[in-house]
Amino acid sequence: MQHNDDAFATMLLMSQLSADREEIVRPLGTAEFHALRERVSACGMKGVGALIDMDMSAVRRTLGVEESEAYRLCVLLGRVVPLSYALERFSERGIEIVTLEEVGYPARLNERLGRKAPPMIYACGDLPLADAASVAVLSDSCARPDALECARQLTAMACAAGLPVVTGGEVGFGRLVERETLQENGRVISFLAGSLAERIYQPGMSEMIANARALVMSAVHPEAKYTVSHAAERSKCLYALSRAGFVVASEKGRGAAWDGAVSALRNGFADRVYVWDNPEQPGNLELITRGATPFRSPRELALDAMKAGWERPAYEQMSLL
């Protein structure tokens, strides 16, 4: 993929060039990048790409930042050669980077997350799949057998309706959703919290990628290990990519499923959050009191009708209202 100057500057500023080695200076975080992007715009520059050829004094004078911050930006922007080598290595493995500054960036992430959207994403597979109407099937990784059966039914119904299924791809629940999607001849979007480089070569997933039925993404280095903080950042993306999130099991007050659902409800990351209404799942019941839409059985969900509504042109949806 050919990257424009703004996209390349974003990668220079954001990239951790090695998953297990400290950088000379710390790459920008999401909030820092969005703040810089706004500052660049306020200064009358077209984009962050305009910073690439500036020296430290020019950066400091133009942006009005402290010397230490100007130094940090210049060091990051000076990593052209090592970033180019990294991009070449990723490309050889079928991994590409797409940034906020490019057309291929998932539109829903930008629309739903705004300043919380990851400025750059690593991806392998059918990238346009990220803009299709899809549903997320989410749960605690240690879900009960009845919850796993509920997830299987949800996934099978989504595949039958032609809806891609969004999952966190975690060992256990996420992998179950991926396997069910494979068996149902469906499509899957797995947004990972680490180890993308390993996941894309594993049986099942590699087959789906080759057949343009899967998209694997991550906002962290492809060789990064799973961490709780990575999982928290991933959760908002799972909801933002989907038109509806379906929570099968959550543990009240803790865990990625709970935190992600609470955040999605509070911030409106998805059009709607559905939760399995099961009296033996107190976390689920609490989410319902916080505004989630309950469902007693997957069979009562009209996913075909939901899909038709999501794919209807905006002016037709407005006329119905």
Q: What is the C-alpha separation between 47 and 51, in angstroms, rounded? A: 8
Q: Pairing between strand 244-249 and 214-218?
A: unpaired
Q: Which one is the CATH code of 125-314: 3.40.50.450, 3.40.190.10, 3.30.465.10, 3.40.50.300?
A: 3.40.50.450
- The pTM of the full predicted model, rounded to 2 decimals, is 0.92
Residues 6+ apart with CB under 8 A from 111: 240
Structure tokens of 95?
A: 């991994």
Please report which confidence band the pLDDT of residue 316 belongs to, taking 50, 70 and 90 as the band edges: low
Residue 61: CB atoms within 10 Å: 12
Over residues 111-127, the pLDDT tens digits come to 999 999 999 999 999 99
DSSP character at residue 253: T
At 91 the pLDDT is: 94
Q: For the chain, which residues make up each domain, given as ranges?
A: 5-92, 125-314
Report, as an integer, the average pLDDT of 267-280.
94
pLDDT, averaged across the chain = 92
